[in-house]
Structure 1
Amino acid sequence: MEENDFVSIWLEETGNPAIEELARTNVEIADKTAKTLADKGLTKNDLSVLVDINPLEIERWLEGRHTFSINVLKEISAKLND
């Protein structure tokens, strides 16, 4: 970061509300997905097979360490609501 990079300094001091909202939403989606899996008696590995995505990626999503894309959300929703 440059010494006079005011935008970076401001973001560091105040945070970024859009990113914070995205992170909050992602955690909510992950929690709802985990609850739906539990309600249906499915595991993370079951979801991995349903949507053909690496189990480690599913784990990162459900732990809130990675954001969901809209396409993946649509696919997960379709598979879990069948």
Structure 2
Amino acid sequence: MNPRNDPLEAAALERFMRATRAVHAAFDATRGEPDSGQDGRFVARALARLDAALRELQTSEQSLDAILSRRAGH
């Protein structure tokens, strides 16, 4: 293991974990009860938040995979 890669790997793993938590929070928000006066805005915002969280999760996973693959020599 190259010690120079450890901070990069740790940062990528932390980003992935934050993204995972954000997806869980965003998903939970889609299951909430909208206020009656908000019409479809509540649902639209919750779905937009979930979509953004899923994109970040995908990006962070790809980054982490790339770092781990380089470390493994693939």
TM interval, shorter chain, is 0.3 to 0.5
Structure scoring higher RCO (CA < 8 A, sep ≥ 6) equals: 2
Query: TM-score scaled by structure 1?
Result: 0.39
Query: TM-score scaled by structure 2?
Result: 0.43
Higher helix share: 2
